[in-house]
Amino acid sequence: MIFKRPLPLVFLILAQASAFAQQGRWQDNWDAKEAMIPMRDGVKLHTVFYVPKNKKGPFPILLERTPYGAGSAHGGPQRATKPIVEAGYILAWQDVRGKGGSEGLFENVRPILPKKSPRSPASMKSATVAIQTMPSANTRR
């Protein structure tokens, strides 16, 4: 396939390469850590944390739960934009139950629990455990 106007495509590729080069290697900005976070029922959820290097904490945590794979501590953080890197967030990706490296049974749509239910959402438990285990985490919610 021959492009009639390749200039915009070339410009886009060069802009992306320039942005990547400015950020440098992810290892220069982050320390990576993997953890299995236990839930109330004993199921452990695979979580990957990226903690900022060379910045003074405590740091807020951005937690994303996904059925598509949280990745590993050997790969760089997903969707880490320049403002997030500069602000010094702890980035965390977590596999939902039954997906990726997490244990348990995957339910595509979990039922809505009544307000007085003794079960708390897994995301709240994960955030609480992350704050307790990461010494550089901000304890405010």
- In order along its 141 residues, the chain shows pLDDT tens digits of 555 655 555 555 545 544 444 456 888 888 888 999 998 889 999 999 888 888 887 888 888 888 988 888 888 877 777 888 788 888 889 999 999 899 998 888 777 766 665 555 666 667 677 766 666 666 565
Phi, psi torsion values for 126, nearest 5 degrees: -65, -45
| Residue 67 and residue 96 in contact, taking contact as beta carbons nearer than 8 Å | yes
Name the DSSP letter for residue 137. B
d(CA 122, CA 100): 16
2 belongs to a structural domain: no
141 belongs to a structural domain: no
How does 98-133 read in b/e, with b if 16+ C-beta sit within 10 Å? Answer: ebbbbebeeeeeeeeeeeeeeeeebeebbbebbbee
- Note down the domain range covering 67: 24-106+116-133
CATH of the domain at 69: 3.40.50.1820
28 belongs to a structural domain: yes
In single-letter form, the type of residue at position 52 comes to P
Helix, strand, coil percentages (3-state) for the chain, rounded to 5, are: 25, 25, 50
What pLDDT was estimated at residue 134? 66
15 belongs to a structural domain: no
16 belongs to a structural domain: no
- Of all helices (H) and strands (E), which one includes residue 64? strand 61-66
Please tell me the pTM assigned to this model. Answer: 0.66
13 belongs to a structural domain: no
Q: How many domains does the chain have?
A: 1
10 belongs to a structural domain: no
123 belongs to a structural domain: yes
Other CB atoms within a 10 A radius of the CB of residue 77 amount to 20
What pLDDT was estimated at residue 19? 46
What pLDDT was estimated at residue 121? 67
